[in-house]
Structure formats: structure tokens, C-alpha cells
Amino acid sequence: MKPSDAYLTLDRMTVLIVDDNAPLRGILRTILNALGAARIYEAGDVRAAMDVLQHEHVDLLICDWKMKPVDGLALVRWVRNPATSPCPTLPILLLTCYADVERVQIARDAGVNEFMVKPFSPESIYQHISSIFRKPRRFVDSKSFFGPDRRCKVVTPASDDRRVGNGVKN
């Protein structure tokens, strides 16, 4: 962790780690503890994760994509459904072994906040969590999508628009 990033602390956050691989959950717990997170729940499958989310306050969900019998993307879709989820705006970091563009788009369209490819380092975990909380994206609620804005670019306010040919007179 860089000294300039030290102001993002996890000591007040409750994190839920969902992965069917117990050793990987242990590694994530160790990393999160080192980053200051004290309250960490673990779930080995989607059903157990749903139970935690229905009964406990969670500030961050870290979920693996490929799990059995139900994958993590199904959990993301359940969380993002305001009709069924107790926490549809919960920040979600999705872990996966796959980095192809199609999977990134599928995850984005399901409503993840951040997408991280394994293997990961403590620094990369911190960077992704930091991005979620220091640069939050507004939530979109439309007929076909509920989740963080899928456009990650920074939009400048119209009053400060200095692009050439933008229709604004100088």
C-alpha cells in the first residue's frame, strides 16, 4: 500500500468472501486482515452467501465467478435484483481466471463494480477495493439494467466542456 492511499481504511468494513475453494478464501481473509478489515464472513457457495446477505450487513462482496453448483455470476444477478435482494447496491468485486473481453462485458452487464483476474496480489486487491470506494459510479435503474454505470469514463460537466466542436461558444 502506498502512503498516499493510506486514508482508505477497511477497519470499519464488513466483507463477504464467496468462493468454493477454502484455501483461496483463507488467502483473501489474510490479505483483507492485513489491509485492516476485521469483520469478514466467508461462504463456500452461493446459497450460503445469500443467507449471510439476508441476515448480516455487508459493505463489500468479493466473489469468485466459477463455482459449483451455482456460479458467482448468478449471485451477482441476485444481489442486483431490487425485487429479491436485501442489498442491491452492494459493491461487488468479481474474481475470475478468465480475462477475455467477452467475460469482462458479461460481468459488467451483470452489475459488478470491479473485475479482477487471478492470480492477484495484495496490492491488486487493495487497488480494486480502493477504486470501488474512492471512485464510486452512480447506479443506473432502467427496465433492462440495475447496477453501477457501465461507462467507466469520466464525464466532464457541460459548463466546463472545452472540447472543440462541442457547440459551446467561448
pLDDT of residue 4: 46
**Whether pLDDT at 160 is above 80:** no
Q: Could you tell me the residue ranges of all domains in the chain?
A: 3-160
How does pLDDT run across 81-130, given as a tens digit for each residue? Answer: 999 999 999 999 999 998 889 998 999 999 999 999 999 999 999 999 99
Residue 137 CA to residue 125 CA, distance in Å, equals 18
Superfamily of domain 3-160: Response regulator (3.40.50.2300)
Tell me phi and psi for residue 19, to 5 degrees. Answer: -160, 140
Residue in 44, 40, 59, 29 with CA at minimum distance from that of residue 122: 29
**Residue 105 neighbours by CB distance under 10 Å:** 12
The mean per-residue pLDDT over the stretch 7-25 comes to: 92
pTM of the shown model: 0.83
pLDDT of residue 163: 37
